[in-house]
Every structure is written in structure tokens, then in C-alpha cells.
Structure 1
């Protein structure tokens, strides 16, 4: 089948590399200056989920918290209200808040209280980092074993690029980081490596039957491989992206940032699989320090 290549991804690789490097630098600066807006999962605090036998109005709920001495903006929907506090509430403080709800909505009001102390918050944050690193390490080992080490490096750089891009946006806009966000990052990594592996597999297949004599031959092969998988990549991303956007728009407040992270991650993951991972593999294949063999040897290594 003949593929009409309208855009040369390899030719413009330096532009995409430069863009990603700039974004990475901005992200590092943002993290150093702003840090992350850690939710109650990663810092000491208390979450109260309050259920009433009758619908609650947000203005009334805010007023109840103000009368108890807390100027916060709770999440209210129907008969439930959720509030997060940056400190660990004592039992007396919780009872004072509940007394206000009982006075307005009756004795049928119930609560679910979740408290995270300092040590547990730090432990959760550390384990979240470990989870992402272990997942990344497992991926690079698999890709290196299944394909070759250059594919593994290109894949992991692409994955870290995706995760860091999302983290950067959450840092700049002060969106809350919590355990669902970690799940979103791991989900993003999974979808991103899936797209990347599809392109890498096509590159490997094309290498088996190609006659590579120069860098331009290998560049043309990479471009052709990307275009051959383009329809599949777009269909996959758009399908999942529609579901993620609907989840963000129609989902509850508790998963709002999870959905947002998924939407951003899917978009940047599609970008990195096409514009970063494959051109980076090409660069490693032909420009790696100490490489003296001809590019044609690539065909025998993969």
C-alpha cells in the first residue's frame, strides 16, 4: 500500500525537541517556585463527607462552616456536602460542625470522617513517586528486551515527558494533586506507551525488508512508519478522549481533576508518541557517541 507523506516528522524534529525542552524548563521553574498544590491525601488534614435527609444549598452549608469558624468552599451536590481542611480536626471541632448541620437539617444528618496525619501524608506522597518510577522502569526493561535498548530509552523519555507536562500544568494553575491524580498519571503512561509501541513495532517490521544505505533512507522509513499507524493512533486517542472529556464535564467534583489530568495526558501522549519518541530513536540510532558502524546495521539489530 502506498502512503502519501504530507509532513516530514523527522525533518522538523529539532523544532519539536526544542518545544519539549522549553516546556520542561518551564516545568522545573514552576515546581521550584510554586511547588505542587497537594490535596489532603498528601498532606495532613481532615475530610468531612456529610449526608443530609434533605437537599442542601451551598450558601447555607458555607454559612454553617463560617459559624463554626471555618471560611472554606465545600462541594455540595443534592443531599451531600464534602469539605476538606488543611489541619487535623479534633473530635470537639467535628462535633461543633455537626451541631450546626443538625440545627439546620435535623438529626438525620450523618458524616464520614477521613483524617490523614503528617507521617501518613508523607508516606503516601513517597509511595506515589515510587509507583510512577517502578512503572517507568518496568516499561523500559520490557521495551528494551522486546525491541532494543534505543527503543527503550526513547519510550521512557516520551513517557516522562508526558507525565511531567501534566504535572507542570497542575503546578502552574494550582490544581490539586491527590491519589486519583496519581492513578491518572499511571493511566496516561499506559496509553502513551501503547501508542509508542505501535509505531515502534511498525518501524521494526519495515526495517526487516528495507535497504538502508543512508540517514535519509532511515528517516524516510521512520516517517513512513508513523504515517502507516497515524489512522490507528488518531482513532484510539479520539475515542478515549471523548470519554475522558464527558467524564470531566458530567462527572462528579471528586474526580474532576482526575478527568482533567487524563484529558491533558492523552493529548500530550499522542504528541510525544509521534513527534518525540520515533525521531529520538532515530537520533540515538545514528548519532550515539562511539557509534562507528553504518546505519545499515540497524536492520540486523532489531
Structure 2
């Protein structure tokens, strides 16, 4: 017999509802904390949403953030942020920094004169420095991008709600969308907690997380629907546990292979896509968790209409007075 790798035994009997109130409570707490972090600490908005100009520098000389800041302090610049960029894929003599500046008071965007002055000051400090990328976004455009990003996530969630409702029942749709919203909120909360840059690529990652998570959830719900017809007298809690165990191998295998692929991108893909890949990595983990512990819990709380269950056979007492 050919040897096959199994991440999960063929027949498992894990009780996913053993700590249902604890796991559901942790999910609710994580969502609330994430919202509080976003409202209080705020997101480290990238150039897409905040507006301004981001300049990427490269040099064979080691980046000295303090010297950069001192050189730019002589210029009349607004909201200067200097960040050294480290990446395993860089050459030994490749030193990269990212400088973000905002528009001055009363200006719509950073002027070309300000950018030229910045480049001249850094070139005087380090003649080997180059400026391979300059990105500028005005405040009007950034405001529109924020609104469109929110609309895209809301539209995707609404479309998923309708799809699951039409394919299954409304309880399944509510459980599925609640799990998706949980995934998005907690992921955004992590970005607020660690002050990771939040730009349009992260919005794309959030939309991808929605698609990944709903696919995983629908697979379990589809098996649950089959079991509802197969085991008509089995209590709903036992049936949902049976369904989760039957699909556990597929869930773990999908999550593991996706995670490993993303991990390679995170390590070797470069700093340009690192934020996107990190969001995806975290999304795979939280999406798998919410499928097993959030979506099913909500469906169990709401109950499922099992009106098509055949009526119980008549008892002897019901026919006691009927003539033979």
C-alpha cells in the first residue's frame, strides 16, 4: 500500500463545542478590542489613504536614520517619517529606506520643489544614494479610496450573505457573514496594534480573506446539509460536531498548504508585498478558526429548521380504541 501523509487521522471525534462559550467569548472580545484599537490608536495609513508622497531610497552606504532626519530638518517639510527597510533578499551592499512626507498647510499635495529639495539634501549627505521610486497621492483621492475600500468590503459581505442564504438557510448565512466580519475586524485590529502600514494592498488582502474563509465555511455547511438529510433524528450539536470532524482533514490540509505558500512569499517575496502577505497569513489562521468556532456556534445558537423531518410513527396508545 502506498504511503500517504496525513495531517489529521481518518476518523476523529473532537468535540468542537466543549468550550463553545469560551471560544465564542474570546472571538467577541477580540473583535471588541480590535475596534477599540482602531478608534483609539488608529491605523498606520499608507500613502494611498493618508495622502502625501513616499520616496524610496537605495544606497551602498548603511542607512543612518538620524543623519537623514538631521539633513531634512533644515528643509520646510511636513510630517516627515523615515523608515529603514530590511529584507533577506537584499544584497549585502543594498541599503533601503522609505521616506514619507505630507503636503504643507494649505497645499493639496507635495510640490515637485519639495521633492527636489529633499533629494538634493540626501544626495549631499550620501552621494551614492538613488531614488528608484516616488509615489504621490492627493488628499481628495485618498479620501475617495477610503470610501471605496469600505464599500468594496461591505459589497463583498452582502453578496456572500445573499449567496449563502439562497444556497442554504438564513441561519447559515448569518453565521457565515458573522465569521467573515470577525476575520476582517480582528485582522484590522492586528494592524492597528502593531502599527503596520495599511494601504490598498491590505484591502485587497481583506477581500481575499473573505473569499478564502467563505469557501472553507461553505464546504462544512454543504456537508452539514447532507447530514441533516441523512441523520434526521440526531441532535444538531452532535451532527455539527460530526460534520466538522468529517471535513477536518480537508480544512487542515487546505489551511496548511496555503499557509506554507504564503510563508515562502513572506520570507522571500520582498518588502513591497510583505504587508499583503502578512495579512493573508493571519487571515488563513483566523479564517480557519472562525469556520470551526464562530460560524458553527452561531448556527447552533440560531437553530436550523428541520421541518422536513418525518413524523414519528404512531404509538400503540393512539390506536388502542381502533377496532381490529
Q: Structure 1 stretches of 5 or more lacking a match? A: 287-294
Q: Is the 8 A contact 2:63 2:96 kept in 1?
A: no
Runs of 4+ in 1 over 6 A off after TM superposition: none
1:250 CA displacement: 2.2
Q: Which one of 175, 179, 186 corresponds to residue 154 of structure 1?
A: 175
SS of 1:68's partner is: helix
Deviation string, structure 1 residues 79-126 (Cα, Å, up to 9, x no partner): 7654222444322221122224555446x9455432111111111111
Q: What corresponds to 1:68 in structure 2? A: 72
Q: Is the 8 A contact 1:62 1:73 kept in 2?
A: no
Distance between the aligned counterparts of 1:71 and 1:118, measured in 2? 17
- TM norm structure 1: 0.84
Change (3 A) 1:33 1:114: same
Is 1:23 the counterpart of 2:44? The answer is: no
Distance between the aligned counterparts of 2:300 and 2:81, measured in 1? 56
Larger Rg: 2
Aligned Cα root-mean-square deviation (Å) = 2.6
Q: Structure 2 stretches of 5 or more lacking a match? A: 1-8, 74-79, 104-108, 311-324
Q: What corresponds to 2:224 in structure 1? A: 203
SS of 1:206's partner is: helix
Q: What corresponds to 2:146 in structure 1? A: 125
Q: What corresponds to 1:189 in structure 2? A: 210
Is 1:145 the counterpart of 2:163? The answer is: no
Q: Is the 8 A contact 1:40 1:116 kept in 2?
A: yes
Q: What corresponds to 2:3 in structure 1? A: none
Is 1:247 the counterpart of 2:265? The answer is: yes
Change (3 A) 1:129 1:162: same
1:39 CA displacement: 1.3
Distance between the aligned counterparts of 1:71 and 1:185, measured in 2? 26
Which is further off, 82-91 or 203-212? 82-91
SS of 2:110's partner is: coil
Q: Is the 8 A contact 2:82 2:98 kept in 1?
A: no
Q: Which one of 40, 47, 53 corresponds to residue 33 of structure 1?
A: 40
Which is further off, 162-171 or 12-21? 12-21
Deviation string, structure 1 residues 170-218 (Cα, Å, up to 9, x no partner): 1122222111110111111111111101100000111122222xxx622
Aligned residues: 284
Residues 1-302 of structure 1 correspond to what in structure 2 (within 5 A)?
A: 4-50=11-57, 55-59=60-64, 63-64=67-68, 66-69=70-73, 72-75=82-85, 78=94, 81-87=97-103, 88-103=109-124, 104-105=126-127, 109=130, 111-212=132-233, 217-285=235-303, 296-297=306-307
Q: Is the 8 A contact 1:3 1:224 kept in 2?
A: no
Which protein has the bigger helix share? Answer: 1
1:220 CA displacement: 1.2
SS of 2:303's partner is: helix
Change (3 A) 1:34 1:224: same
Change (3 A) 1:71 1:11: closer
- TM norm structure 2: 0.79
